[in-house]
Copies of this chain bind each other. A is one copy, B any other.
Amino acid sequence: MRPAEPMTTTIYVCTTCRAPDDPSPERAGQRLYAHLTQTAESQGSDVQIVGVECLSVCKRPCTIAFSAAGKWTYIYGDFPADTGAETILAGAALYEAAADGLIPWKSRPDALKKGVVARLPPLFGSAPSPESVAEKDVAL
């Protein structure tokens, strides 16, 4: 699947994540990717779901990221392969609703509080400068 058009929310999913002690022949990341695409379709969600061969966060499977043009990009880990899809899609809806991608702390599901791996300011866009956005973000 191609990366999304500007302003559409993209969920990147690491398809090479391995879960510890997982006997399944299919990698955990691949299973999460399948669950996400199926669940998004059943919900009629307009998010773009893009499988990526390794997001390089191998110690915290499963790993995903939210991104959209002009918004902060967030990378999250620690999602269970077989039950994480609905939590991720609910988080993506909150991300899509946030003009700058910064979900207010009180609204963040626990998985997005504890699971954060890293974030990046809006890339190559016309969004506010990183500095001006960061000062408003009380939930770093």
Interface residues, chain A, CB within 8 Å of chain B?
1-6, 10, 12, 16, 50-57, 63, 65, 67, 69, 73-75, 116-125, 129-131, 134-135, 137, 140
Residue among B54, B135, B137 making CB contact with A140, cutoff 8 Å: B54
Q: Which chain B positions have C-beta within 8 A of A67?
A: 120, 123
**A123 close to B123 (CB less than 8 A):** yes
Tell me, in angstroms, the Cα distance from A67 to B125 when the chains sit together. Answer: 13
Q: How many copies does the complex hold?
A: 2
Known contacts: A118-B117, A124-B3, A124-B69. The answer to whether A134 contacts B57 by CB under 8 A is: no
Known contacts: A53-B134, A56-B140, A135-B53. The answer to whether A2 contacts B120 by CB under 8 A is: no
**A116 close to B53 (CB less than 8 A):** no
Tell me, in angstroms, the Cα distance from A57 to B75 when the chains sit together. Answer: 10
**B122 close to A3 (CB less than 8 A):** yes
Tell me, in angstroms, the Cα distance from A12 to B82 when the chains sit together. Answer: 34
Tell me, in angstroms, the Cα distance from A116 to B117 when the chains sit together. Answer: 12
**B53 close to A131 (CB less than 8 A):** yes
A140, chain B: closest CB distance, angstroms: 4
Identify the interface centre among A1, A67, A122, A130: most chain B CB within 10 Å of its CB. A130
